[in-house]
Amino acid sequence: MPTLAMSDPGLWGLSGPEFLLGYLGLTVTLCLLRLVFGWWFRRSGGDSRETLENLPAAAVAYLRGGAREAVLSTLAGLRAGGLVFARRKGRLETRKAAVSGDPPRLEHAVHGAVRRHGRYRSIIRDPAVRDALRSLDKRLTSSGLLLSQPRRGVLVTTMWLLYLLLAIGVIRFAIAVGNAPVGNLILTLLGIGGAVIGFHSKGSSWYPRTRSGDRALEWLKSRYAHLAPDHRPSWTTGGVEVAAMSTALFGAAALHAADPSFAARLGMSAAAAGSSGSYSGGGGGGGSYGCGGGCGGGGGCGGGCGGGGG
């Protein structure tokens, strides 16, 4: 194991101070670039509310969480429509040869993928599904709700460079510790680590959204707040549209709340779905007062204050 002394040329031909200076300089430059690019790229405008109202559930799901969420939302809709079911864990089956009418492209592709593969995890890798997902991505990008591919590439590259810097710093630390002062290096590594965490947590983990995309998602969640799992939206009543949009906006938790057996067969536990299994007892923060069966006769007037009430 090489040892280091202050007078030595140092590991990699750089003394400790020389390395630290260059390392710090690169780190700060990269962080600044990441911040500036991130801020600049995400400024782009987006769609009006009118268009957002017409955004299909799969596109909303993709906007919120990418390919997996779009596929999950589509599966929820197909399940609610009686076209897909799961006999055992991880295995899906279809009831019909094809979706009738003129279904959205992803719905058609997912249905076909279920017929071809059966395994839930294989669906997202199906070529027709990937093609439909690319189409969704393109639609959202041209609407200004997602960053363009080149801009995503720039942000991804800056993040990978940060990871690389972090790795280099850790390696340097591992070699130097016990042989040379590493206090400043530790501080720098902590700084990079914090920056990486900060970049990941800023806004959301789904970085390709523009600010318009963030605003659009917030507006959609407010518009469809009644589809949140806490409100137990009736998928029987709402049908395919409610199932798909509820899952699009609220993910696995929505699926788990409405159809726990199907969710479980897709490998989603209540804990993983983020569902506590408890409900507020009603919309609008209701449920602070419960009134059981109501209106006499064992039922009525909202058993449990409207079954959740207003």
Partner 1 sequence: MSTPWPTGVGLGWRPEIASVFDELPGLRFTEVIAESLSGPLPPGLTRLRDQNVTVVPHGVGLSLGGAEPLDPARVEFLANCAQRLRSPLVSEHLAFVRAGGMEVRHLLPVPRTWEMTALLCERIRQAQQQLPVPLAVEPIATLFDWPDDELCEVDFVTEVLERTDALLLLDLANLYANARNRGLDPVRQLQRLPLERIGYVHVAGGAAHEGHYHDTHTDPTPSEVLDLVAELGRLRPVPGLLLERDGNYPPKAEFHAELDAIAEAARHPRITGSSP
**Burial status of residue 264 (CB atoms within 10 A of its CB: 0-12, 13-18, 19 or more):** middle
The reply to whether 46 sits near partner 1 by the rule CB under 8 A is no
Q: How far is CA 307 from the centre of its chain?
A: 31
**142 vs 234 by CB, closer to partner 1:** 234
What mask, x for binding partner 1 by CB under 8 A, covers residues 78 to 107?
------------------------------
Q: Which stretch binds partner 1 (CB under 8 A): 112-120, 136-144, 201-209, 300-308?
A: 300-308
Name which of residues 215 to 274 contact partner 1 (CB under 8 A): 222-223, 225-227, 231-234, 236-239, 241-242
Is 295 an interacting residue with respect to partner 1 (CB under 8 A)? yes
What is the DSSP secondary structure assignment for residue 44, as one 8-state letter? -
Residue 281 in contact with partner 1, rule: CB under 8 A: yes
Total residues contacting partner 1 by CB under 8 A comes to 45
3 state DSSP class of 42: coil
CB 69 within 8 A of CB 249: no
Query: N- to C-terminal Cα distance for the chain?
Result: 71
86 three-state secondary structure: strand
Min. distance of Cβ 53 from partner 1 in angstroms?
Answer: 11
Interface with partner 1, residue 183, by CB under 8 A = no
Q: Which is nearer to partner 1, 181 or 303 (CB)?
A: 303
CA–CA separation, 160 and 162 (whole Å): 5
Least distance (Å) from partner 1 to the CB of residue 245? 9
The answer to whether the beta carbons of residues 15 and 6 sit under 8 Å apart is yes
Q: How far is the CB of 163 from partner 1 (least distance, A)?
A: 41
